[in-house]
């Protein structure tokens, strides 16, 4: 086993991801509606509200708006659709596994912070009674479809720990991941994307608009302090296998750096806002549980 695999700042540890459950459990409990009380309270029912259950013969008193015309035409007898309350909402993590995430200068790699964020999202979904799944842009590895309970969370944590241990050789990009998410989900699902800002360049406006139109979307933009607030010093860097020195104390070099990193981050936030998509910047120096107010907004503040 390599030294990197033992370093929790470089390689995410499954035990740590499991232990993050305690951070979610410590969050204030939800307010539940009870007889005799009025005001805002979260509902125990999730999803679109009504989910198709079956088709049966029409009986007197059934709502004519629910007549199943296809079955009626095929059988020659009037049939109606039956629905029941959908109690679980689907939540899906979209994991960016592009090379830019496997890097960090403070506290941990951005990939490790992505795995921790995935754990917070998964445990929050489980506590809220949602089903949780995860996928990445890769043809060889199918999505983990949203599953309820602790079993669903552990499947997500295992995948996040594996994917963020090192850059996958078969990464197909964030656009491929969003395409897979659109195929998997029904309207009304929650989508949480863990991404590096540069990776959004490969995602079309049509994809963003489509996801925002049918789902509740939150994009977590992972950053490192050196990207947004670099030190005014000369840095040795590798470019195309060659070592060069980047002098960030020089105004021109600093401006190019800020355009590449801070400018890209700002442009990504503005683009997401344009499509009504919420975004949250998560630095490697931030606590992963800072996501909880966004994930569990129906809980007591």
Q: What is the pLDDT of residues 212-247, one digit of tens each?
A: 999 999 999 999 998 888 777 777 766 667 777 777
Instruction: Name which residue leads in pLDDT, 285 or 257.
Output: 285
Is 291 found in the same domain as 235?
A: yes
Helix axes 174-184, 205-214, angle to 10 degrees: 30
Is 227 found in the same domain as 120?
A: yes
Instruction: Fill in the DSSP letter of residue 28.
Output: P
Q: Is the pTM of this model over 0.75?
A: yes
Is 81 found in the same domain as 123?
A: no
CATH of the domain at 113: 3.40.50.410
pLDDT at 159: 97
Q: Is residue 17 one of the residues assigned to a domain? A: yes
Share of the chain above pLDDT 90, in %: 55
Q: What is the chain's alpha carbon radius of gyration, rounded to the nearest angstrom?
A: 23
Residue 75 belongs to domain spanning:
50-85
Is 189 found in the same domain as 117?
A: yes
The total number of structural domains that make up the chain: 2
For the chain, give the mean pLDDT: 85
Q: Is residue 36 one of the residues assigned to a domain? A: no
Is 244 found in the same domain as 142?
A: yes
Is 271 found in the same domain as 156?
A: yes
Strand partners, 281: 221
Which ranges constitute the DSSP H helices of the chain? 3-6, 14-19, 21-25, 69-75, 110-127, 149-163, 174-184, 205-214, 225-228, 251-260, 262-274, 292-295
- Cα distance between residue 30 and residue 168, in whole Å: 38
Is 282 found in the same domain as 143?
A: yes
| Range with top average pLDDT, 1-10, 175-184, 227-236 | 175-184
Quick check: 197 and 76 in contact, CB under 8 A? no
Is 224 found in the same domain as 125?
A: yes
Q: What is the pLDDT of residues 282-299, one digit of tens each?
A: 999 999 999 999 987 643
Quick check: 51 and 85 in contact, CB under 8 A? yes
Is 81 found in the same domain as 92?
A: no
Is 192 found in the same domain as 104?
A: yes
pLDDT at 57: 83
Q: What is the pLDDT of residues 108-150, one digit of tens each?
A: 999 999 999 999 999 999 998 899 999 999 988 899 999 999 9
Is 253 found in the same domain as 203?
A: yes
pLDDT at 2: 56
């Amino acid at each position: 086993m390599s030294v990197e695999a033992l370093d929790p700042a470089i390689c995410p540890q499954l035990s740590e991801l499991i232990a993050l459950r305690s951070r979610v459990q410590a969050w204030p409990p939800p307010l539940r509606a009870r007889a005799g009380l009025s005001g805002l309270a979260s509902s125990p029912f999730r999803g679109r509200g009504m989910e198709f259950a079956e088709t049966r013969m029409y009986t007197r008193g059934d709502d004519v708006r629910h007549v199943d015309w296809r079955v009626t035409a095929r059988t020659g007898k009037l049939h109606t659709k039956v629905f029941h309350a959908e109690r679980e909402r689907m939540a899906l993590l979209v994991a960016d596994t592009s090379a830019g995430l496997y890097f960090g200068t403070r506290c941990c790699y951005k990939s490790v912070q992505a795995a921790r964020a995935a754990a917070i999202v998964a445990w929050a979904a489980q506590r809220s009674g949602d089903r949780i799944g995860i996928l990445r842009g890769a043809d060889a590895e199918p999505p983990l479809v949203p599953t309820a309970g602790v079993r669903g969370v552990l499947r997500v944590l295992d995948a996040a720990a594996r994917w963020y241990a090192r850059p996958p050789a078969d990464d197909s990009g964030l656009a491929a991941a969003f395409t897979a998410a659109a195929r998997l989900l029904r309207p009304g699902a929650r989508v949480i994307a863990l991404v590096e800002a540069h990776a959004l360049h490969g995602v079309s406006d049509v994809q963003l608009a489509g996801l925002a139109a049918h789902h509740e979307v939150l994009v977590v933009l992972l950053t490192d302090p050196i990207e947004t607030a670099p030190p005014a010093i000369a840095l040795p860097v590798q470019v195309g296998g060659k070592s060069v020195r980047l002098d960030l104390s020089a105004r021109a070099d600093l401006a190019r750096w800020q355009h590449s990193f801070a400018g890209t981050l700002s442009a990504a936030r503005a683009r997401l806002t344009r499509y009504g998509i919420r975004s949250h910047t998560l630095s490697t120096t931030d606590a992963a549980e800072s996501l909880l107010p966004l994930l569990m907004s129906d809980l007591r503040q």
